[in-house]
Structure 1
Amino acid sequence: MKRDLYDEHHEVYRKSVREFLEREVVPKQAQWMEQGCVDREAWLAAGEVGLLCPWVGEDYGGPGGDFLHSCVVIEELARIYDSGFAIPLHSDVVAPYIHSFGDEAQKQRWLPGCVSGELICAIAMTEPDTGSDLAALRTTAKREGEHYVLNGSKTFISNGMLCDLCVVAAKTENSTDPHQNISLFVVEADTPGFVKAKKLAKMGMAAQDTAELAFEDCRVPAGNRLGPEGAGFMMLMQKLQQERLIVALASQAAAEQVLADSLTYCKEREAFGRPIAKFQNTSFKLAECATEIEVGRHFLDAVTQRHVAGEYLVKECSMAKLWHSEMLGRVVDQCLQFFGGYGYMLEYPIARAYVDARVQRIYAGTNEIMKVIIAKQMGL
């Protein structure tokens, strides 16, 4: 079925994104996976050609596009089996907190650097003992004059080692209600007491630097707080919908690329004198994958259109994150089987896709949390 999500301007943008990724990213992927992070120069290059925060307006140094331009970037990163260039996190998860909840001075101060790639962003919510339970955060922010003093630790923070700006969720003292005592702070990398403690070793997403962070009497100017004190939980709840939609978008695009490459392989690979695509089991399994992908694509495009139109889609974004990340797991597992022993070799993109797919069921709230949210939206 024909897609109608994008207009001609988005497709022109797609061409430029694809050319950039083929030229500047694909040749360096192996190096980045080996070193465990993307070169800072790549972020600056991406900013120069408009891949970072493409929805930001000209007043803040952006090109004035929309969220669909970001969707193009997400899809094109999946097409090249990207394993860690966390542009969607930077552009569409973290920067929106500054854009939506920052005051004018904060936006003028930080957004231009987010657009150019001079300021790489991270967000620090997860703690060693809290996982998806944001109300149980232990990191504290105590007001002392014109500063807040942050103490605590965060873990599994993508872009944690590279980041110049980190949006940090911490407990303030304005209320005993766990939903009204969380505030968000933009902590700059050179702030005394902000410690990038450890880069974590992972089974997938090899080029993405994921870190443990610590805050040790970290004095953050009060002017770095986003929005009112105690409003952080509601801010997080609002923005997590887009974060979950991004996981769904990445999962869908990855499944499409895996299927396309598996079809090519199955038509070329021979066993017992004929292409393996000619065996009934292979063709049936490929047909099942194709059906899931086609159905998923049209649900996701519909949700994305409504999101772009400004609807607050708690249930639908949670459903998309749940279903599409699970669907990707099914598709990539089945398609890897067609490759036999080669599918287990990391030199083959299908192997990287397999290990990278697993975290999608954990990102942005585990899939078990998605089921809780969906059930609540159903009145259960």
Structure 2
Amino acid sequence: MPKDRVINSQSFQDGKIVLYQLENRPKQLWLCRLKVPSGTGYLYRGTGTSDFYEARKFADDLYDELRIKVKSGQSVTGQHFKKIYEEFKENYPREAASQKRATAVLEFIKCYAMPYFSKMKVTELTDPEIVKFFDWRRTNFKKKPPTSATIVSDQGRFKVFTDWCFKRGYITKQIQFTKPSVPDNRRPDFDAKDWAKLTRFLREWLKGAKGKSGDIHRERLMLTNYVLVLANTGIRVGEARNLKWSDIDTFVGEDEKENIILQVKGKTGIREVVSRTPDVKEYLQRIHELRTKEREGEKPPLNEPIFSHQDGTPVHSFKKGFNALIHEAGVEFDPHGQRRVIYSLRHTYATFRLQEGVNHYVLARNMGTSVKMLENFYGHTSNRAMASELTKTRSKERKKLPWE
């Protein structure tokens, strides 16, 4: 019993349930002490009421609940969630696949799991309680309501913790996470109307920079051509960052049309990408002329990143400039209210190609993705029989590139 003097006490179930009140406690709330058969130790809880009959019902219900837990092999006197988290925080970074992953997992638990589970024991991490937790998570957020995709990511982060607890014996069974359904997999792209609006804006936006400082003109020229290249090739942001002048090639097909080929290195390995239009050559030529001018007439080396700073190092991110650009152009949001991002250029490429009748398999290979991904995320586009594939031509004569 606690050291405070007990002024009233009632016992039930042969002493396994004890209700008591303590001296000098406000409202004279009933407290309870429980001893579960086959369990170890005692469990103390506040009933939250000064009404004896309500307190008795609370104690009986809790006793039954704990008895079921013991019968199923769970400990009712396990360690508190907060204590186990501190142990996890100390050890997990050394076990994580990367520092980035460790940071994401620990940050999620700190921001959301700790406020919810801090007063619970780790043994109370049950499947039903996890469901309740993620119901709570949907209405508790720092900046904006989480999407279904965010909840799936959060579940993956929390599963790292629950699996860790299971392997160390803190919980007796692995937690099953039920992934939420994703009602709309549509990804924000540019429809034909907004794409035309953006390209018209880009022309005037770039012209308007000619009377400004060199830095402003350079930034606009680089970003303009970056946008046009990504939207006409579908390459990923990381692939564009690694793209070098030596990665560009051409071939002439049976239709006598010159095709621009980009050899990109990304998360799916190395692949050749056929650009949507030969105009990509012009977009790259603009950047090449800029770099030649910056190098006082000397062409940039073939191993230099195409999207580079004046010192030849790769531009790490165009995110800030892109966000300002689409805001100023009035195309920040798609018709469904989703905010567009740089990755929307890749989605735009995929959408236009499918609408133009390109075969899913051919397009998937060109984009370095799977047919299933195209069907999942671009199912809203028309899957018409294609009139001609991306190239479906044989190489004839290779034309020399301007920078060679």
TM-score, structure 2 normalization = 0.26
Q: Considering fraction of residues, name the structure with more strand.
A: 1
Larger Rg: 2
Highest RCO, 1 vs 2 (Cα 8 Å, sep ≥ 6): 1
Q: Considering fraction of residues, name the structure with more helix.
A: 1
TM-score, structure 1 normalization = 0.27
